[in-house]
Every structure is written in C-alpha cells, then in structure tokens.
C-alpha cells in the first residue's frame, strides 16, 4: 500500500523517489498520483515527506482537482530556470530534459540519493547527475507497495470481476443455446459461431459496462487450446463436444484496475479423458486455495498444485522437466493496475504472500490431442486464508 513507501525507500538506502512519465502507460505513476495524463510529468517524494507533482500549465488546474497529491506545481513556477536553459541549449528536446533535471535539483537538493525506476531514461539520468544528484535505478520499489491493496482497490477489482462474470455467463449461454451443424460446428442465428463473434460479443458487452479488452482475450477451442496462450483466430469455429477455454481479462476504463477469469466448457458431451483432466484441475485449484494465507510461500502453494496433478498421472515442469502435455506454467500472479504483477506463485517464488494481496489461482492441463483445461479464480489473501472475488460457478458440460 502507499503507506509502505517510506519504509521501502529507507530499506533501499535512498533519500527520495523520482518518476518522470505519463500515467496512462505507467501504472506506478497512476498508482502514486491517481491523475491520468497522456504527457509526462514529474513525481517527487522525499522519505518521510509529502510528495509533489509538477505538471504543465495546461494540466495544472485538472491535476489540483483530480490528483491525490496535495502539492501540485506548474512548469511556470520554474519559469526563470527555463529562460536560462533556453539561452544555452539549441535543441528543444535536450532543453526540456535539462529543465526537468533543474526542477528536480531545486526540489530535492544536490547530493540527494534518488531512486528511479530500472528503465529510467539514460539521458535524463545524465542531466540529473550533472545537477549533483545521485541517481540509483532500482527494481520493484513502487511495485512492492502495490503488492497489497487497500479496501478501495479491492472493491474496484471486485467490480470489474462482477462485470466480467456477468458477461462471461451471457457468452456461455450463447454457446449453450447454439445448434450443432455439420462437422459439429456450432450454429447461432443461422451462422457458424466463430471465435471472432464471441470476442466481438465480449468487447461490446464489456465496453457497455465501462470495461475494456486492452490486449486480447483467449477463446480457444479443441486441440488448439493445448497451447496455453493461443488466443484464438477470428475464423476459428467453435465446435460441440470439444473443450473451449474462455480466459477473460478486461480493465476498468475509469478506475484502471484489471481482473482475470478463466473457465473451460464443453457444449455437448466431454470425453472421459477430458473429464479426468477437468476433475484433476478442479481438485488442484481447490487444494491450492486451501493452502493460501498470509505468510505462505508462492512456491509452496505451487507445489501443492503440482502434487495433486502428478498424483493424478499428469506431468508438470517442476524440477526442470520439459513436457509436451500436462501443466507447463506457474500457478498464479498478482493483479491490479497491471494484469500481471507481483506476487507470483511458481517453482521459484520464495517470497511469502501478504495480507490483502490480490492473486489468481489458475492451474491447467494441456494435451495436443485433446486441447486444454484451465480454471482461474481471483482472490484476496487474508491472515488465515482468502476471500474469493470470484462468484462464478465451475461447470464443464453446458
């Protein structure tokens, strides 16, 4: 949570945090400011001091109204520095970078040890060093604070999840009500039901409810679903008696938070082999959920999942095994302002889960001759277990 940021910076042995970016693409900038801007602006925070942001004059009034940062400044507050830089710098882009560096020096002071993101622009860092600042690129500073969610963040994720479940249930009903045509192709309103039609349905319905498919979603039918991240081509036909993976991960347009939901269904009758895969995945999901609580290690929960699957006769990649069928991926990941964030649950996750982390639990099994089965819930970690944000039932045959 944001309140942990001072302790995180102190642990990193730095005096301040600096971000220079827009907040549409930089989740950390939006997290710290709650201010959406398409152009880069400056965030500054000294340890044990209130943060400030510096924006263009055009954004100044909006930032004062919308940002959670109380100290908002405009570029015009540093107008004299800008005039001086213009006299000595012919290249306007370099001048802009030098101006930003001067603002930071003015606010933080020369000699300050400043933490910046690991991918901070090199040229900007050079100008900051010329101003006498010590620049330390680091991984996982703001991200560590984001691992735990406050009650408002949890509710925002819960709201996106509720919309996702409602739309997914409607999509499943469409598939269930489809007729079966030649070669087991599903027919809806006289036309073949394709991946493209289902994705279009999701896109429109989610948008109507204030959510957006930003990357893509996975609609994978039959043997093609044996590739866990095969998203499905628009022309792919949905067919009866075959597994259909629906992996839906939209983002709230206004609140920016994501969710993640996966269900595997069959229109008609599932084969005995597919039913066995489904039952094993469901058991692995439930066992993994039972192992979750604050303090539990991500790799321990992953091992619980693998134990169930391997006992049922399926392979996993645990121990470095290369598998062509079985479970070739980790168990889950954090969700928030990004679809994939910390913490992770896989063989190498030695960090313990924290109370109020939001994570997915998504075991899966895949067979090139059959297809795939994946089931995914999203939950909030508690001291003694978890609270499920997922309410949707799990049913194979529809």
Integer CA distances (angstroms), 223 to 138, 148, 275, 373, in order: 43, 38, 15, 11
Q: Which pLDDT does position 90 carry in this prediction?
A: 85
Give the domains, in start order, of the chain with CATH numbers: 2-146 (3.40.350.10), 151-388 (3.90.230.10)
Copy the structure tokens of residue 84: 């001086």
pTM of the model: 0.95
Do residues 161 and 185 touch, judged by C-beta distance below 8 A? no
For the chain, what is the mean pLDDT?
Answer: 97
pLDDT at position 25 over 90:
yes
**CA within 13 Å, CB half, 388:** 13
For residue 222, the tally of other CB atoms under 10 A from its CB is 19
10-14: long-range contacts at Cβ-Cβ below 8 A with a sequence spacing of 24 or more? 10/47, 12/115, 12/136, 12/138, 12/141, 13/113, 14/47, 14/113, 14/114, 14/115, 14/136, 14/138
Overall average pLDDT of the 376-396 stretch: 98
pLDDT at 87: 85
Bin 319: left if φ > 0, else alpha if -120 < ψ < 50, else beta: left
Element (H or E) spanning 160, and its range? helix 151-177
- With a pLDDT cut of 90, the percent of the chain lying above it is 97
Q: What is the rounded distance in angstroms from the CA atom of residue 19 to the CA atom of residue 115?
A: 9
- In this prediction, residue 86 carries a pLDDT of 83
Tens-place pLDDT, residues 126-152: 999 999 999 999 999 999 999 999 999
| pLDDT for 394 | 97
Better-scored residue on pLDDT, 42 or 92: 42
Q: What integer is the mean pLDDT of 281-299?
A: 98
**Reported confidence tier of residue 89, pLDDT bands at 50, 70, 90:** confident
């Amino acid at each position: 949570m944001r309140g942990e940021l001072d302790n995180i910076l102190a642990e990193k042995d730095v005096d301040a945090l600096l971000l220079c970016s827009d907040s549409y693409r930089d989740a950390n900038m939006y997290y710290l400011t709650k201010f959406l801007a398409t152009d880069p602006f400056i965030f500054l925070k000294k340890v044990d001091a209130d943060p400030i942001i510096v924006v263009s004059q055009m954004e100044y009034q909006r930032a004062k109204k919308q940002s959670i940062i109380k100290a908002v400044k405009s570029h015009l507050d540093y107008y004299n520095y800008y005039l001086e830089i213009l006299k000595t710098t012919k290249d306007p882009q370099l001048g802009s970078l030098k101006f930003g560096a001067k603002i930071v020096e003015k606010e933080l002071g020369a000699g300050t040890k400043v933490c910046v993101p690991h991918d901070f622009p090199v040229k900007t860092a050079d100008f900051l060093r010329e101003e006498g600042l010590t620049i330390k690129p680091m991984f996982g500073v703001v991200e560590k604070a984001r691992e735990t969610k406050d009650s408002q963040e949890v509710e925002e994720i819960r709201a996106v999840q509720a919309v996702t479940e409602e739309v997914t249930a409607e999509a499943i009903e469409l598939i269930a009500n489809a007729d079966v045509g030649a070669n087991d192709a599903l027919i809806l309103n006289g036309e073949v039901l394709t991946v493209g039609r289902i994705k279009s349905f999701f896109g429109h319905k989610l948008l109507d409810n204030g959510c957006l498919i930003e990357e893509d979603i996975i609609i994978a039918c039959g043997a093609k679903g044996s590739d866990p991240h095969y998203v499905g081509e628009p022309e792919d036909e949905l067919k009866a008696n075959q597994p259909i993976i629906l992996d839906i991960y939209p983002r709230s347009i206004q609140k920016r938070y994501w969710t993640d939901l996966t269900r595997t269904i069959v229109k008609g009758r599932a084969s005995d082999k597919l039913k066995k895969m489904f039952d094993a995945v469901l058991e692995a999901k439930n066992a993994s959920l039972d192992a979750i609580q604050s303090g539990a290690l991500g790799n321990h929960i992953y091992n619980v999942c693998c134990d169930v699957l391997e006992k049922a006769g399926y392979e996993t990649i645990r121990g470095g095994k290369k598998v062509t069928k079985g479970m070739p991926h980790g168990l889950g990941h954090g969700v928030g302002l990004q679809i994939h964030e910390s913490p992770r649950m896989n063989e190498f996750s030695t960090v313990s889960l924290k109370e109020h982390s939001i994570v997915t639990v998504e075991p899966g099994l895949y067979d090139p001759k059959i297809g795939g089965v994946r089931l995914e819930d999203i939950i909030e970690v508690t001291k003694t277990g978890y609270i499920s944000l997922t309410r949707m039932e799990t049913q194979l045959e529809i």
